[in-house]
Protein backbone atom coordinates (compact mmCIF):
# COMPACT_ATOMS: atom_id res chain seq x y z
CA UNK A 1 0.00 0.00 0.00
CA UNK A 2 1.34 3.41 -1.02
CA UNK A 3 2.42 5.50 2.02
CA UNK A 4 1.38 2.63 4.32
CA UNK A 5 3.11 4.07 7.39
CA UNK A 6 1.70 7.56 6.83
CA UNK A 7 -1.84 6.14 6.42
CA UNK A 8 -1.43 4.09 9.60
CA UNK A 9 -0.34 7.24 11.45
CA UNK A 10 -3.38 9.17 10.15
CA UNK A 11 -5.59 6.52 11.77
CA UNK A 12 -3.62 6.52 15.03
CA UNK A 13 -3.82 10.29 15.42
CA UNK A 14 -7.35 10.47 14.03
CA UNK A 15 -8.47 8.01 16.73
CA UNK A 16 -6.62 10.05 19.36
CA UNK A 17 -8.22 13.32 18.21
CA UNK A 18 -11.68 11.75 18.43
CA UNK A 19 -10.99 10.16 21.84
CA UNK A 20 -9.70 13.51 23.15
CA UNK A 21 -12.95 15.21 22.10
CA UNK A 22 -11.19 17.50 19.61
CA UNK A 23 -13.69 16.54 16.89
CA UNK A 24 -17.31 15.42 16.73
CA UNK A 25 -18.83 13.21 14.03
CA UNK A 26 -17.15 13.58 10.64
CA UNK A 27 -15.54 16.93 11.55
CA UNK A 28 -11.78 17.43 11.47
CA UNK A 29 -9.12 16.23 9.08
CA UNK A 30 -5.44 15.36 9.15
CA UNK A 31 -2.76 14.95 6.53
CA UNK A 32 0.88 14.00 6.32
CA UNK A 33 3.28 14.76 3.51
CA UNK A 34 5.94 12.51 1.95
CA UNK A 35 7.80 14.22 -0.90
CA UNK A 36 5.23 15.41 -3.42
CA UNK A 37 2.55 13.06 -2.06
CA UNK A 38 0.09 13.73 0.78
CA UNK A 39 -1.92 11.09 2.66
CA UNK A 40 -5.13 12.69 3.95
CA UNK A 41 -8.20 11.58 5.87
CA UNK A 42 -11.26 10.85 3.71
CA UNK A 43 -14.46 12.85 3.46
CA UNK A 44 -17.45 11.61 5.42
CA UNK A 45 -15.72 9.10 7.70
CA UNK A 46 -15.65 9.81 11.48
CA UNK A 47 -12.03 9.97 12.63
CA UNK A 48 -12.66 7.31 15.30
CA UNK A 49 -13.56 4.79 12.56
CA UNK A 50 -10.66 5.46 10.20
CA UNK A 51 -8.88 2.55 8.54
CA UNK A 52 -5.53 2.99 6.73
CA UNK A 53 -6.77 1.84 3.32
CA UNK A 54 -9.68 4.32 3.53
CA UNK A 55 -7.23 7.24 3.57
CA UNK A 56 -6.65 8.64 0.06
CA UNK A 57 -3.30 9.78 -1.29
CA UNK A 58 -3.11 12.92 -3.43
CA UNK A 59 -0.20 14.75 -4.99
CA UNK A 60 0.66 18.32 -4.01
CA UNK A 61 -1.16 19.50 -7.14
CA UNK A 62 -4.42 18.01 -5.84
CA UNK A 63 -4.66 14.95 -8.12
CA UNK A 64 -5.96 11.73 -6.58
CA UNK A 65 -3.16 9.14 -6.69
CA UNK A 66 -4.57 6.26 -4.62
CA UNK A 67 -7.69 5.36 -2.64
CA UNK A 68 -11.38 4.70 -3.25
CA UNK A 69 -12.85 7.44 -1.05
CA UNK A 70 -12.85 11.19 -1.68
CA UNK A 71 -10.16 13.17 0.13
CA UNK A 72 -11.40 15.48 2.90
CA UNK A 73 -13.20 18.56 1.61
CA UNK A 74 -10.51 20.65 3.34
CA UNK A 75 -7.73 19.05 1.26
CA UNK A 76 -7.24 22.32 -0.74
CA UNK A 77 -6.49 24.07 2.57
CA UNK A 78 -3.97 21.38 3.55
CA UNK A 79 -2.27 21.65 0.13
CA UNK A 80 -2.14 25.47 0.37
CA UNK A 81 -0.44 25.14 3.75
CA UNK A 82 2.15 22.68 2.38
CA UNK A 83 2.82 25.01 -0.56
CA UNK A 84 3.47 27.95 1.79
CA UNK A 85 5.36 26.24 4.63
CA UNK A 86 7.90 23.49 5.20
CA UNK A 87 5.30 21.53 7.20
CA UNK A 88 5.32 17.74 7.22
CA UNK A 89 1.80 17.39 8.63
CA UNK A 90 -1.40 19.40 9.12
CA UNK A 91 -4.16 18.87 11.71
CA UNK A 92 -7.53 20.64 11.56
CA UNK A 93 -10.19 20.25 14.26
CA UNK A 94 -13.38 21.90 15.52
CA UNK A 95 -12.25 21.77 19.16
CA UNK A 96 -14.60 23.57 21.56
CA UNK A 97 -12.42 26.28 23.11
CA UNK A 98 -10.56 26.95 19.85
CA UNK A 99 -13.89 27.48 18.14
CA UNK A 100 -15.13 29.71 20.98
CA UNK A 101 -12.11 32.00 20.52
CA UNK A 102 -12.37 31.80 16.71
CA UNK A 103 -16.02 32.88 16.95
CA UNK A 104 -15.47 35.90 19.19
CA UNK A 105 -11.95 37.26 18.71
CA UNK A 106 -9.57 38.38 15.97
CA UNK A 107 -6.53 36.82 17.65
CA UNK A 108 -5.56 34.78 20.71
CA UNK A 109 -3.15 36.95 22.71
CA UNK A 110 -0.24 35.30 24.56
CA UNK A 111 -1.34 35.03 28.19
CA UNK A 112 0.96 32.04 28.86
CA UNK A 113 4.56 31.64 27.76
CA UNK A 114 3.80 28.26 26.13
CA UNK A 115 2.13 30.29 23.37
CA UNK A 116 5.68 30.83 22.09
CA UNK A 117 5.69 27.18 21.00
CA UNK A 118 3.01 28.13 18.45
CA UNK A 119 4.69 31.42 17.45
CA UNK A 120 3.15 33.73 20.09
CA UNK A 121 -0.11 35.47 19.23
CA UNK A 122 -2.39 33.14 17.23
CA UNK A 123 -4.20 34.88 14.34
CA UNK A 124 -7.82 34.19 13.45
CA UNK A 125 -8.15 33.66 9.68
CA UNK A 126 -11.04 35.56 8.08
CA UNK A 127 -14.24 33.60 7.55
CA UNK A 128 -14.88 31.80 4.28
CA UNK A 129 -17.04 28.77 3.41
CA UNK A 130 -15.42 25.44 4.26
CA UNK A 131 -13.48 23.72 1.50
CA UNK A 132 -13.12 26.86 -0.65
CA UNK A 133 -9.92 28.35 -2.12
CA UNK A 134 -10.83 31.55 -0.21
CA UNK A 135 -10.61 29.69 3.10
CA UNK A 136 -7.34 28.05 2.05
CA UNK A 137 -5.84 31.47 1.21
CA UNK A 138 -7.09 32.99 4.44
CA UNK A 139 -5.57 30.17 6.53
CA UNK A 140 -2.27 30.36 4.64
CA UNK A 141 -2.00 34.06 5.49
CA UNK A 142 -2.90 33.55 9.15
CA UNK A 143 -0.26 30.82 9.50
CA UNK A 144 2.63 32.94 8.21
CA UNK A 145 5.51 32.49 10.67
CA UNK A 146 3.31 30.44 13.05
CA UNK A 147 2.55 26.83 13.89
CA UNK A 148 -1.14 27.46 14.52
CA UNK A 149 -4.07 29.53 13.31
CA UNK A 150 -7.72 29.75 14.22
CA UNK A 151 -10.41 29.88 11.52
CA UNK A 152 -13.24 32.36 12.17
CA UNK A 153 -16.47 30.65 13.29
CA UNK A 154 -14.97 27.28 12.35
CA UNK A 155 -12.04 25.76 14.31
CA UNK A 156 -8.27 25.55 14.39
CA UNK A 157 -5.37 24.34 12.26
CA UNK A 158 -1.83 23.47 13.25
CA UNK A 159 1.30 22.32 11.46
CA UNK A 160 4.31 20.26 12.49
CA UNK A 161 7.39 18.58 11.12
CA UNK A 162 5.45 15.34 11.48
CA UNK A 163 2.01 14.21 12.58
CA UNK A 164 3.01 13.98 16.22
CA UNK A 165 4.23 17.60 16.16
CA UNK A 166 1.07 18.87 14.43
CA UNK A 167 -1.16 16.90 16.82
CA UNK A 168 0.65 18.17 19.92
CA UNK A 169 0.36 21.72 18.54
CA UNK A 170 -3.40 21.18 18.24
CA UNK A 171 -3.57 19.99 21.87
CA UNK A 172 -1.54 23.01 22.99
CA UNK A 173 -3.70 25.42 20.95
CA UNK A 174 -6.83 24.00 22.57
CA UNK A 175 -5.25 24.25 26.05
CA UNK A 176 -4.26 27.89 25.46
CA UNK A 177 -7.76 28.73 24.22
CA UNK A 178 -9.33 27.02 27.23
CA UNK A 179 -7.05 28.90 29.65
CA UNK A 180 -7.94 32.19 27.95
CA UNK A 181 -11.69 31.56 27.95
CA UNK A 182 -11.71 30.39 31.59
CA UNK A 183 -9.49 33.31 32.66
CA UNK A 184 -11.84 35.72 30.90
CA UNK A 185 -14.71 34.36 33.00
CA UNK A 186 -12.81 35.35 36.18
CA UNK A 187 -11.38 38.70 35.12
CA UNK A 188 -9.49 40.47 32.33
CA UNK A 189 -6.56 38.19 31.39
CA UNK A 190 -3.12 39.83 31.62
CA UNK A 191 -1.34 39.59 28.28
CA UNK A 192 2.42 38.93 28.41
CA UNK A 193 4.51 41.82 27.10
CA UNK A 194 7.08 41.56 24.30
CA UNK A 195 9.80 41.97 26.95
CA UNK A 196 8.39 39.15 29.10
CA UNK A 197 8.22 36.88 26.06
CA UNK A 198 11.77 37.82 25.01
CA UNK A 199 12.95 36.88 28.53
CA UNK A 200 11.36 33.46 28.12
CA UNK A 201 13.20 32.93 24.84
CA UNK A 202 16.51 33.98 26.45
CA UNK A 203 15.81 31.64 29.39
CA UNK A 204 15.21 28.73 27.02
CA UNK A 205 18.72 29.24 25.61
CA UNK A 206 20.26 29.65 29.06
CA UNK A 207 18.70 27.01 31.33
CA UNK A 208 19.70 26.70 35.00
CA UNK A 209 22.64 24.41 35.67
CA UNK A 210 22.93 21.95 38.54
CA UNK A 211 26.56 21.20 39.47
CA UNK A 212 27.09 17.67 40.68
CA UNK A 213 27.64 17.44 44.46
CA UNK A 214 31.18 16.44 45.47
CA UNK A 215 30.96 13.66 48.06
What is the spatial distance between Cα 96 and Cα 101, in angstroms, rounded to a whole number? 9
Q: Which helix (H) or strand (E) holds 57?
A: strand 57-59
195 counts as catalytic: no
Given 3-state DSSP classes, what are the helix, strand and coil percentages for the chain, each rounded to the nearest 5? 45, 20, 40
| Nearest CA-CA partner of 42 in 83, 16, 87, 74 | 74
CA distance to 11, 45, 53, 81, per residue, from 97 (Å): 24, 23, 32, 23
Considering the candidates 51, 74, 168, 214, report the single residue annotated as catalytic.
74
What residues are annotated to the active site? 74
Amino acid sequence: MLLAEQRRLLCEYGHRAAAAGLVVGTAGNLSVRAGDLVAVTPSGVPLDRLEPDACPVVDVGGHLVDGDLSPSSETPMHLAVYAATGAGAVVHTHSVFGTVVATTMSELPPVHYNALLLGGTVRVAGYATYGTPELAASVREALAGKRAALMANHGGVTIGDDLDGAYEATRLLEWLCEVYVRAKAVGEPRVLTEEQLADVVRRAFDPPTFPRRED
